[in-house]
Amino acid sequence: MAGGTEVDELKALPSSSAHRSSFILQGGRPSSGHRRISESGEVTLRCNATRSAGVEELASLLTDAVSGYYHERGIHCSAGEAWVRFFGDCDVDGSGRISFDELETAIRKRLRSGISRYQLLVLWRQLDSDNSGEVSVEEVVQFLYRVDLSSWPEAEVQSVKRAVRRLHKAGAMWHQAAGNWYKIFLQIDFQSRGFITLDDLKRAVRGGFYGFRLSAQDLPDDQLHQLWKAMDDQGDMRVPLRKFLAFMRRMDSPASQLKKRTRQVSEGVDWDVPELSMEQMLLAAKELARGMARLRRAPTSLNTPEVWTHLFQMIDSDGSGRMSFAEFEDCARKMEVSEHVQELGIKALWCLVDADRSGQATERDFVLALYRLQLDSWQSLERPELQKAMEKLNAAADKWHRAGGNWFKVLSICDE
């Protein structure tokens, strides 16, 4: 915790209208001011000269310093990753939170940037808007990352589309992933976390055997940064699978997607629905998920609904966002599931996901149907047990995020 002297110095600083909720947690370009939503619902930007005059320049200086700190040690990474490493090294007690004294000591001892105490106090005021004397490391890192991100040049849509086409072409050439953005995502997400960072993207783009082998001439660094900035438009430091796929499909040519949708609508499927219980259909779905885990780097736990999203992405081979029964059947065959699942299981599951008998199913149709099937198999807690579970969750929220009793904040933490 920061001492009383620091708190007094903070209170003596000029007042600023910037608040952490508008400055750190929202997306956009910090250097242009914070966002304001008008009565008509449009998002506009309002300049904040008091904040932008020195805070962002200071943040940029610190970012350059921490990048240089790791560069000198032979560690080449993005600014965001550098800050994660830096505060990870400084957070001795592992609390995930940092006081002003700890921040000042870390910067002066490690970076030797020559930044004055007053400048650090100005920066601290922006971070610790509630004067609690400490902030989470995640908030500090994200703020500094967003300042760095805002300094990158904006890209024209056509420039981003060219970068997407180069990445797609490389995926088709080296990984037989033509049109399959899910498979391309898995190559980038080498740790199977369900999201990618700028460092993951750089590593995959420039990588050799498991990468896309694109040199700086094929895809220059500035275009790579513009592509990332367009994807991470909210400054979250990470792009999850769903957002990656939506972005790539939007930037990729729609011709192949239209062709597939036209074929699927006319395809149709007509048969007698096999009589399988909900338990039998869930077992068939789980066997498909295990088959997927054998073939692809994907979640192996069947206790998370995310497994159905990964299963859909594998079935949707061309990444159009829609699947047909032919694709479903073909994928099950490649997974080498049991004969029972191939003959009856996938037919029963298809009738479940293609409820309107259109001959196609969207990702939402597929995932929701299997999630509900999974949810129905879970036991319900009695009220006393439910109360105990909520108390444990509340205690953990208070310990790690100072969010005891604040269920909205708990939801925000869970909803990455």
pLDDT averaged over 10-residue windows placed end to end, the chain, 416 residues: 45 37 31 34 31 67 85 82 81 79 84 82 82 82 83 85 90 80 87 88 86 90 92 91 88 54 44 71 87 71 78 81 86 85 85 79 87 83 86 87 81 72
pTM of the model: 0.53
Look up residue 13 and give its DSSP letter: S
199 Cβ neighbours under 8 A, 6+ residues apart: 77, 78, 80, 81
| CA-wise closest residue to 328 among 294, 304, 293, 292 | 292
Pairing of strands 97-99, 43-46: unpaired
Tokens 């962002």 belong to 56
179 Cβ neighbours under 8 A, 6+ residues apart: 168, 172, 252, 256, 317, 318, 319, 320
50 Cβ neighbours under 8 A, 6+ residues apart: 14, 16, 17, 18
177: tokens are 């992933």
